[in-house]
Homo-oligomer: A and B are copies of this chain.
Amino acid sequence: MRYIVTGCAGFIGSNFVDSLLAMGHNVIGIDNFSTGQEEFLETALDNPRFKLIETDLLDLRGLKRAMDGGEIVIHLAANADVRFGTDNPRKDLEQNTIATHNVLEAMRVNGIRKVAFSSTGSVYGEASVIPTPEDGPFPVQTSFYGASKAAGEGLISAYCEGFGFQAWIFRFVSVLGERYTHGHVFDFYKKLSDDPANLHVLGNGHQKKSYIYVQDCVDAILLAMEKSSDRVNIFNLGYPGYIEVNDSIEYICNGLSLNPRLKYEGGERGWIGDNPFIYLDVSKIQNLGWKPKTSIKEAIIKTLRWLQSNEWVFEARK
């Protein structure tokens, strides 16, 4: 198959590209390199079945040209950091909602009708049902990130109904693993590099988080697209379990053989729009036969080891 991967130079995107190439597929990768890293595509760029196109999803004309010849779109490009919504509320709208509209329009003019989409567990806002199932109560959005992704889901579903598209929508928890470039392990590692004796923690450390390892995430998406064939297929994607931020700190500090003084800031929530507990009911994807191979602890350690071997990303992500 000829896949198109948006955000191909990003964390999940580049891992996805490598998996598709390893399976023998052809891949057109699209990235604007606003946060993507060409280094993540080192292996892919050596592969004749990979074609890289640098364009911005907000450039609809460029996008239409880029998608020519594709058969399935894996739409992963996004403004992925939930924390900075209030700094620039338009950014999530543009990069997650309008960009998704453009991807769908470019698909339509190119006759491409299958799309997978990286949504987020943040679309549940402050879920009243935990673990949260896909069809839990109609949520009230609490973050610009969640709102922009929920809007993207809505657009995709409308294209399915209006234009006969078929979609697989995945509501992720946070993802960890190789090429991870933002989030709490990144932040803690960086802070500890700067000051191994002290660690400032956003929130009280008791925020529960359910992380998933990137390869488990890629496997789940590919499995769902193979086994689930409704018009709109929606799946939660997370680890069937959770840890507290404090557990994570322990794994990281042990992994680095450090024993910093911890200082907590900000009360129950780390930031405006932070959700104290995103924990998804993943029985729907499990019922397709998916099982994560990597525990949360292992995922954190793998992430840590990768960061240790790739300290350049701290410069690249300044």
Chain B residues near A137: list those with CB within 8 A.
135-138
Cα distance A154–B97 in the bound complex, in angstroms: 11
**Residue of A93, A134, A135, A147 with most partner-chain B CB within 10 A:** A147
Contact between chains at A85 and B138 (CB < 8 Å):
no
A222 at the interface (CB under 8 A from B): no
Q: Give the interface size class of chain A.
A: 35 or more
Chain B positions within 8 Å of A105 at CB level = 89-90
Q: Given A135-B138, A151-B154, A154-B150, answer yes or no on A143-B161 (Cβ-Cβ < 8 Å).
A: yes
List chain B residues, Cβ under 8 A from A147: 151, 154-155, 157-158
- Closest residue of chain B to A171, judged by CB? B138
Q: Is A313 an interface residue (CB 8 A)?
A: no
A55 to chain B, nearest CB (A): 19
Q: B159 contacts A154, CB within 8 Å?
A: no
Q: Do A143 and B125 touch (CB < 8 A)?
A: no
* Cβ-defined contact, B272 with A162, below 8 A: yes
Of the residues B98, B125, B155, B158, contact of A157 by C-beta under 8 Å: B125
Kindly identify, within residues 214 to 258 of chain A, every residue whose CB is under 8 Å from any CB belonging to chain B.
Answer: 232, 234
**What does DSSP make chain A's interface, helix, strand, loop or mixed?**
helix
The 8 Å CB contact of A150, one of B143, B144, B150, B273, is: B150
Say yes or no: A141 contacts B125, CB within 8 Å: no
- State in angstroms the CA–CA spacing of A101 and B248 once bound together: 37
A34 to B: closest C-beta gap in Å: 20
Closest Cβ–Cβ distance, residue A63 to chain B (whole Å): 14
Set of chain B residues within 8 Å of A90, measured between Cβ atoms: 101, 105
**B141, A158: Cβ atoms closer than 8 Å:** yes
Residues of A near any B CB (own CB < 8 A): 85-86, 89-90, 93, 97-98, 101, 104-105, 124-125, 134-144, 146-148, 150-151, 153-155, 157-159, 161-163, 232, 234, 272-273
